[in-house]
Amino acid sequence: MAAPVPGLPGFTDRALFRGRSSALCAGSAAWPWTQSLTSAQLVTAFRLARLVNLCKKEERLPVERQILERCVSKKRLYTLIGKEKRCGPVQGVDEEMVENFFARASRCGFFPVDT
């Protein structure tokens, strides 16, 4: 996630930042600054990119294999939750983006065989 700050291309109007919490500038905020995507779409795109990176990773930890296996078998996005690091579904995603991703990725054989 990008953290928008005044002066970056596309963020020249400082009025955009007036009256808004500075927490929205944090990279994890997923605030739709340009209104081109919703927060759910931003979160989904970020999580899908993380999943793609995990698929490309040559050596995976057991917990990474568990997450990848669950994502591929359930065709949903999962992450580690809580101090106990349990595997749970990602909240607030754009379901249509997730469905499209898994449909296309499955058709082209993207997912590794040895999840």
**Which of the 8 DSSP states describes residue 100?**
H
What average pLDDT score do residues 59-66 get? Answer: 91
Domain spans in the chain, listed from the N-terminal domain onward: 37-107
Contact between 40 and 92 under an 8 Å Cβ cutoff? The reply is yes
The whole-number pLDDT of residue 40 equals: 87
Our CA angle for 98, 63, 78, nearest 5°, is 20
Average pLDDT across the chain, whole number: 81
83, pLDDT greater than 70: yes
Number of alpha carbons in the 13 Å side-chain half-sphere of residue 106: 12
pLDDT band for position 115 (cuts 50, 70, 90): very low
pTM for the structure as a whole: 0.71
